[in-house]
Chain A
Amino acid sequence: MNKLYNKYEKEILGILARYPAEGKRSAVMPLLFLAQRETGYVPTEALSNIAEITGISETDVASIMGFYTLFHAEPAGRYRIQICTDLPCALRGSESYLEQICEKLGVKEGETTADGLFTVEAVKCLAACHRAPMFQLQGDGEIKYYEDQNVEITMQIVEEIRHKVAAEQEA
């Protein structure tokens, strides 16, 4: 049928089986997750693939992807460090926290580190106001919360991940 389908045929059939045959469009969200799983973003080609599988237009698929902030249209680092900068977090210093993290990683907000591992993003409320500053780590098909942060703790986490990746590469 198309590239995405051929690659994940079994999984896609599994996803489609969850919905009635005339409601294939309902499968858009899981299919977008599937398309994003490997590269961390949804390439344009995947949009048309999903459109073909679900029988809705490519524009409609893109619209759904655009609406949800956890789908990404642009490639970024393997891990996204998403720091909440909404009002309660800001009151607890998330803005300077963001600045310092960027400084430590040597990037600006929205940029990716040279090793291609981390992208720092400022995002809206993640519903963890009472444990601000906090960030959410998105990568490897998972989402994790890290709360009550300061620069030192965060950099420790970053280093841990770097080690993990390095070990992976050696293996």
Chain B
Amino acid sequence: MADMVTLKIDQQIVTVPAGTLIVNAARKAGINIPVFCYHPKMEPVGMCRMCLVEVGYPQRDRVTGELVKNEDGTTKISFAPKLETGCTTPVVEGMEVRTTTEKSNEGRKAILEFILTSHPLDCPICDKGGECALQDLTMLHGPGKSRFIYDDKKLFAKHVPLGEMILLDRERCIQCGLCVRFQHEVVDDPVLHFYQRGRSLEIRTYSEPGFDSIFSGNTTDICPVGALTTVDFHFAARPWEMERDPSICAHCAVGCNLIYNIRREAKSGGKTVIKRAMPRQNEFVNELWLCDKGRLGYHYVAAAERLTQPLLRKDEKLVPVSWEEAYQRVEDKLRAEQVRLVTLAGGRLTNEDLFNFHQLNQSQNGKAVLYSQMAGGDLTAQIGLGKGSNFSDMGKGTAILVVASDLHEEAPLWWLRVKQAAQRGAILIVANARPTRLDKFANHVLRYEYGQEAATINALLDGKGKDEFTQAAKAFSEAENGLVIYGSDGLGLNGSEQLVKACAKLLVERGYYGKPNNGLLAVWDKPNIQGAWDMGFHPDRNLKGTLREADVAMIAAADPAGDNPILAQALEETDFVIVFEMFMTETAKMADVVFPVQAQIEREGTYTSGERRVQRFDIVLPHIEGPKSDYQIAAQLGRLMGLSTEDRSPVLVMNKINEKVKGYQEITYSRLAERAEQWPLISRADSYYAGTGYENEYGVGIQISSSADRGEELSLGTLILVEPQEEVATGIKVVPVTALYDRGQLIQPSQILAKRLTPQVLLMHPVLSKKYQLQDGDQIKVKVAGNEIVSGVKLDADVPQDVALVARSNGFPISSPVFVQIQRLVPEPEA
């Protein structure tokens, strides 16, 4: 426990840890000191002078060092003759702070008058108008009149785009530097900076593309004025006109909490539409931030081509039928004797969907398969991150090993939080086949060849091998707490299985499990893969064979046929295919029955994040006529088969889950809605303190315990290291990696991100390209799994010399390492 300090702020006695800044001490006591340039997540700079307060220190006798007393016996406080900045002054014992005296009010008034000397009066058209710190503070503390002349206001061209996503209005900028500091300090993308000085000062970016950062949207939240706004929300609505609905981001396994602002509007034909996504504070998950994918990648919900009616194959054609008829058809199929059922579920299904699907599947002795290329959900359930873990608590004494993951691309918020843990003193070991953005903050960087992931972890366990390995192994074993984060960089299911077993072994041997801030963390590629594992779905190494042998395949939230032609062939051999989908995917086209389902934002449900935090999301938009939730359809089918599956509400499904599924005993919807005390204390009412992110009124979710936390016996399986196969195949080895802005179904409809999508190229080292006489920008034909794909070539000296990289979900049917043939396409001579 840190030393506590007691001081007096405006007659209130406050006790806070030593080193706390006056602004924060006051905030804890419910006293608001106005600020512009201060942000609780950044180092103070004291630039704007808005937080000026009167500060008094207990007077000491110069000779004796004793506290000087007043006549009445109280300690004499001597106030500084001038005001001091509350955001840079730490508290000391016996201090007295006055925030509402005439002197400090005058100070604020003067600063506001000064800031407003060149602020334009365009609040009516400013996107920030209504949630603007400058507006609010001017109303609270500002002078009604200005002594400065209007003619002297700086006039600039109105909004200038800083890249495609963010707009800058230089007139509105009050030079607080929050955006610059956020980009430098918090997310380490130093692509914004001041240019010139004094009244000519402006914010500039020189990166290519402009404002090249995946966290750029956050600067619009923390900007205390409308200088930085998103193109997405440009003139879209006024802040007070929109309703707010809490949700969970469905783009990755982090599970960021957010708020969708919605509005009914004539432009969209009277429909309710999402106008923007804003972060919702959850200090256990995303703090106050969102990545740009989460912030801007919601446009898929408005996509027009939704399925609305059940479809049934009649005479080789899919025709719309009634729900009853579709149910009947499925029931007939399932009731047939000795039917071999396979249920293939994707990671965007909710826990409730998955539970009902599993019930249905089990009643027919079917095989529950998870559509994922990562293994280890059973292990994370046993020795995963201990209950009560929080990245914010990690620092000195914690060792974090990140293996086979480019966190910056796979899970941006975890990258941010791991980076911050490392900056607080945690030992960070990054093991990857290629350099990643995390290397810069790592104490130990280990390189291996693709295919050697598990062997690398094993080497760490033995502590043998090259120097850096022994050092890293030593550092990892000497820590108080340890966790291993594993991803899927260049891995297929086989490799992933080996890797996760090796990671588990390392953790168990070192004793890093079963307690907070220890354990295993998987960087899943979908929001609810962990939930799927928990509900009983596992990936299948021989998915092709499983599908081929199945009589009936139920496929929900997965598009195997679209992703991989081999699986499409396998599906053709399946007798009867039932698909649960929003869109007419390749798989749906091959189906015998297609059930239309609701999107995540149209329904309620829960996701279990990678950290095994169960979080609830609410209905954001009214659902379109026709589709139902997956859990409802599964439950209906279950009822037809004589089960007592629940189809009335996800709340009731969760009540069943907590009876039956290990670890979920404590989960109920009402408990998920419980709030937690969080620091910083943010509030929309005083957005000047921490930006326009929303406070969390909807619950922070519950991290479920692992088997180890509960003291249960573990069964981790044995690790049998398979030597990487000798190269039997010819051609180039291509390994898949994850890119944040891929061409997945959910991200492509966001036009605003179109230019930032990962190019459809084979990334290779110049040495490798030379072997094939390829140059940067060449077009090639890639032969993979019997298919031919035209692709570009991009050279990158960071890629290992013997492999080429492709991004997942980016137009290549490659989800695990394969050998491909390539052929250079000679451009046709121009006519």
Contact = CB atoms under 8 A, between A and B. Distances in A.
A contacts B directly (C-beta below 8 A) = yes
Interface of A: 44, 47-48, 56-63, 66-67
A57 B206 CA distance: 8
A57 B205 CA distance: 10
B194 A67 contact: yes
A47 B193 CA distance: 14
B585 to A, nearest CB: 41
Given A62-B206, A63-B204, A57 B191 contact: yes
A31 B204 CA distance: 21
Given A47-B206, A57-B207, A62 B195 contact: yes
A58 B206 CA distance: 6
A82 to B, nearest CB: 16
A62 B193 CA distance: 8
Interface in B196-227: 196-197, 204-207
Contacts of B193: 57, 59-60, 62-63
Nearest to A67: B197
> B interface, how many residues as a size bin?
10 to 19
B198 to A, nearest CB: 9
Nearest to A48: B206
A60 B192 CA distance: 8
B511 interface: no
Nearest to B191: A59
B194 A66 contact: yes
Contacts of A58: 206-207
Which 6 pairs across A and B sit closest by C-beta, in order of nearness?
A: A63-B193, A66-B195, A58-B206, A57-B190, A59-B206, A66-B196
28 contacts: A44-B206, A48-B206, A56-B190, A57-B190, A57-B191, A57-B193, A58-B206, A58-B207, A59-B190, A59-B191, A59-B192, A59-B193, A59-B204, A59-B205, A60-B190, A60-B193, A61-B206, A62-B193, A62-B206, A63-B194, A63-B195, A66-B194, A66-B195, A66-B196, A66-B197, A66-B204, A67-B195, A67-B196
Nearest to A61: B206
A63 B193 CA distance: 6
A59 B179 CA distance: 13
B207 A62 contact: no
Nearest to B189: A57
A59 B203 CA distance: 10
Contacts of B192: 59
A67 B195 CA distance: 6
Taking each of B194, B195, B197, B206, which has the highest tally of chain A beta carbons within 10 Å of its own beta carbon?
Answer: B206
A20 to B, nearest CB: 18
Given A56-B190, A62-B193, A63-B193, 19 more contacts: A44-B206, A57-B190, A57-B207, A58-B207, A59-B190, A59-B192, A59-B193, A59-B204, A59-B205, A59-B206, A59-B207, A60-B193, A62-B204, A63-B194, A63-B195, A63-B204, A66-B194, A66-B195, A67-B194
Contacts of B204: 59, 62-63, 66
Nearest to B196: A66
Contacts of A48: 206
A104 B725 CA distance: 83
Contacts of A56: 190
Nearest to A47: B206
| Most A CB within 10 A of own CB, among B192, B196, B207 | B196
Contacts of A62: 193, 195, 204, 206
Contacts of A66: 194-197, 204
Nearest to A65: B195
Contacts of B196: 66-67
Contacts of B207: 57-59
Contacts of B195: 62-63, 66-67
A48 B661 CA distance: 57
Interface string B177-190: 00000000000001
Contacts of B190: 56-57, 59-60
